[in-house]
Chains A and B, each alone.
Chain A
Amino acid sequence: AQKVTQAQTEISVVEKEDVTLDCVYETRDTTYYLFWYKQPPSGELVFLIRRNSFDEQNEISGRYSWNFQKSTSSFNFTITASQVVDSAVYFCALTINGGATNKLIFGTGTLLAVQP
């Protein structure tokens, strides 16, 4: 069975601090994909990144970076120099390649509050 765990329920930081959101996944499949979505207070879900299981290179996009480590089954998300606009719920998700449905399995989310 597949599972995604986001152990941090809520994180509060002060603007300009760096913050890392943890994501641990479980799957027996060798080919899978990992995602991060952002849900701002307005409620919509915004796609941030997709990573496949064969690409362990870290990725950086502006203030955002992702660290994928298969050895620890983790796909952590770091925001550098956080801003108030980063305040949102962040979801990590998993899908497996062999499944006919390609359904996303979500973690429970981490609420990030960035204080001015």
Chain B
Amino acid sequence: NAGVTQTPKFRVLKTGQSMTLLCAQDMNHEYMYWYRQDPGMGLRLIHYSVGEGTTAKGEVPDGYNVSRLKKQNFLLGLESAAPSQTSVYFCAAKYRGNTEAFFGQGTRLTVV
């Protein structure tokens, strides 16, 4: 979906390093989400935001922080990366209500 862009697409980190994943959307979506995808586990919600300046924890929030200072951007931070955070991360954005979510292309993160 051209409207949701994730940066970077790939990254390799050493244990203990920090990084920030950026999700940008240009469709004026209210809600934004960060998911991680692991083999056999589907997509699990890390954190989400229902509007600018508000964030909340999802199903697997430990080890991550998020910020949404601007409506169009949702940042996911790893303060001290661990091998267990090796995963594919997806950002999603949607309008208020039960509409479909639009996903970014994913970020493949490897922590060694």
Bitwise, B91-112 to A at CB < 8 A (1) or not (0) is 0101011111111011000000
20 sample A-B contacts, Cβ–Cβ < 8 Å, listed by A number: A9-B40, A33-B98, A43-B105, A43-B106, A44-B1, A44-B106, A45-B92, A47-B100, A47-B102, A50-B99, A52-B98, A91-B42, A91-B43, A101-B48, A101-B50, A102-B94, A102-B98, A104-B43, A104-B101, A107-B42
Interchain CB contact under 8 A, A44 and B103: yes
Give the residues from 76 to 101 in chain A that come closer than 8 angstroms, CB to CB, to chain B: 91, 95, 97, 100-101
Q: Is B31 an interface residue (CB 8 A)?
A: yes
**Chain A positions within 8 Å of B97 at CB level:** 102
Chain B contact residues, CB within 8 Å of chain A: 1, 31, 33, 35, 40-45, 48, 50, 56, 58, 88, 90, 92, 94, 96-103, 105-106
Bitwise, A52-82 to B at CB < 8 A (1) or not (0) is 1000000000000000000000000000000
- The distance in angstroms between the C-alpha atoms of A43 and B10, with both chains bound, is 12
Dominant secondary structure at the B interface = strand
Interchain CB contact under 8 A, A106 and B56: no
- The distance in angstroms between the C-alpha atoms of A107 and B105, with both chains bound, is 19
Given A43-B88, A108-B40, A108-B42: A103 and B33 interface contact (C-beta under 8 Å): yes
B106 CB → nearest A CB, Å: 5
Interchain CB contact under 8 A, A103 and B58: yes
- The distance in angstroms between the C-alpha atoms of A35 and B99, with both chains bound, is 10
B12 CB → nearest A CB, Å: 17
**Chain A positions within 8 Å of B99 at CB level:** 50
**Chain B positions within 8 Å of A52 at CB level:** 98
Interchain CB contact under 8 A, B98 and A45: no
Q: Looking across the interface, which residue of chain A has its beta carbon closest to that of B44? A: A106
- The distance in angstroms between the C-alpha atoms of A100 and B97, with both chains bound, is 9
**Chain A positions within 8 Å of B106 at CB level:** 43-45
